[in-house]
Amino acid sequence: MTQARPLSLITGASAGIGAAFAHALAARGHNVVLTARRTDRLETLAAELRATHGIDATVLTNDLAEPHAVEQLCRALDERGLQVDWLINNAGYGVPGRFDENDWPVHADFLRVLITAPTELAWRLIGGMRQRGYGRIINVASLAGHVPGTAQHTLYAASKAYMIKFSQSLALENQALGVQVCALCPGFTRSEFHDVTGTRAMMNKLPDLMWQSAQAVVQEGIDAVERGEAVHVTGRVNRTIKALFKLMPDRLALKMSARQSKRYRAQDSST
């Protein structure tokens, strides 16, 4: 089957960076498949994209925390005869609080959404991209994957560091076959992320220069994957932060990360 337009699958498409990817790729003439948990938001976005850009927008509601979610999602794509050219692994969230204070199922769901699901999606879809000689995969990682981990978001930086290394290896394996892979690493981005984690008030203390819009992050990501960059940190401020932490001794970097993170998270008397 030959598709008239490129097809982009976007996870976590209902808001924030995911919705911004949907708008940007639809503006480039892509048909899109939107997946997330909130059907009403996805349907509203899909209708807007159809009306504005004249593209096809398919809604496949899915909860990537479910063990068989990716298999079911890919089966739905096959049943509709949809071949994915661009995969945007964007779905994610944070789990605030000390590691041992959260129940294990909370962590297990997080690991499935942030690590297992994007890895499985890439595994299931990249074969078709290789056969067709064209594909793009953007794994939305984070600046957090480049700097020391912080307390009370114990798995977040670790999951993003995994996505960075995974993307590098996947890029090397496929670069000669027309399939380009990029780990997109934004810093603080204006979205619903901090509302969900309950840290909005603290995040509002950050100066404006620390923030990027979701639209700016997405444009950098699209440009980076098209250039063949395996890893891209967005924004000059974030690239400067990455460079500074890379030059520091590990002990100093960890102390500085701990000191700064305490200013922007809920306090725990035990840490």
Q: Which string of DSSP letters, residue by residue, matches 89-116?
A: E-------B-GGGS-HHHHHHHHIIIII
CA distances 248 to 65, 107, 236, 254, 255, Å, are 37, 31, 19, 9, 11
Concerning whether 156 is annotated as a catalytic residue, the answer is yes
Which token pair is 181? 């892979």
**Tokens linked to 170:** 């996947």
> Could you give the 3-state DSSP secondary structure of residue 81?
coil
- Rounded to the nearest 5°, which phi and psi values hold at 185? -120, 85
Chain position carrying tokens 């100093």: 252
- In this structure, the number of other CB atoms found within 10 A of the CB of residue 44 comes to 14
Within 10 angstroms of residue 157's Cβ, the number of other Cβ atoms is 20
The pair of three-digit structure tokens given for residue 15, joined into one six-digit string: 């808001």
Residue tagged active-site, from 93, 134, 156, 162: 156
Per the structure block, which two tokens stand in for 214? 């979701």
Instruction: Assign 39 to helix, strand or coil.
Output: helix
* H-run or E-run covering 179: strand 179-185
Q: Integer distance in angstroms from the first to the last C-alpha of the chain?
A: 57
Amino acid, res. 64? L
Q: Which residues are catalytic?
A: 156
